[in-house]
Amino acid sequence: MKRDLTNNIGIEQGLAPAVKSSASETGDPVDLRGFESATVVINTGAIAGAGDFSVKVQHSDTTTGGDFEDVPAAKLIGEFPATLEADSTYRQGYIGMKRYIRLVLTRASGTSIALGATVIKGHPADMPVAA
């Protein structure tokens, strides 16, 4: 029997890879319908101007911006650091029951950070997962 992860996960962009300089950037909602778990993976590059950037996960039952709220720690596996470091990779699991999650990047100080984030959706109801 072959082990195959590719056909057993879904992936979506959480935050588009780019140099981020806004005070706050909110990713698009990621629909978790048909999946029982999710992991957020963040990759950082250079940080300019002694930047202090953080990321949090929010969840909601709708895609309406005002309905999203910060995910309680009890619904997360692991934690992102208070300040992201340059040239690093981080992961955090989501075990909540809401249909949508999104990421929010916040700049406390500094100029910019090169960053991208992917949401890996796991434990699908139907396999193989369509590309």
Domain at 6-124: CATH architecture: Sandwich (2.60)
Q: Higher model confidence: residue 2 or residue 41?
A: 41
The confidence score (pLDDT) of residue 2 equals 60
Measure the CA angle with vertex 4, ends 128 and 95; round to 5°.
Answer: 70
Q: With a cut of 60, say whether residue 1 has pLDDT above it.
A: no
24-29, long-range: CB < 8 A, 24+ apart: 24/104, 24/105, 24/106, 24/107, 25/104, 25/105, 26/65, 26/102, 26/103, 26/104, 26/105, 27/102, 27/103, 27/104, 27/105, 27/117, 28/102, 29/60, 29/63, 29/68, 29/100, 29/101, 29/102
Kind of pairing between the strands at 69-70 and 76-77: unpaired
pLDDT, tens only, 105-126: 999 999 999 999 999 999 999 8
Residue 35's H or E segment, with its range, is strand 35-48
Instruction: List the domain boundaries for the chain.
Output: 6-124
Grade residue 130 by pLDDT with cuts at 50, 70 and 90.
confident
The confidence score (pLDDT) of residue 50 equals 86
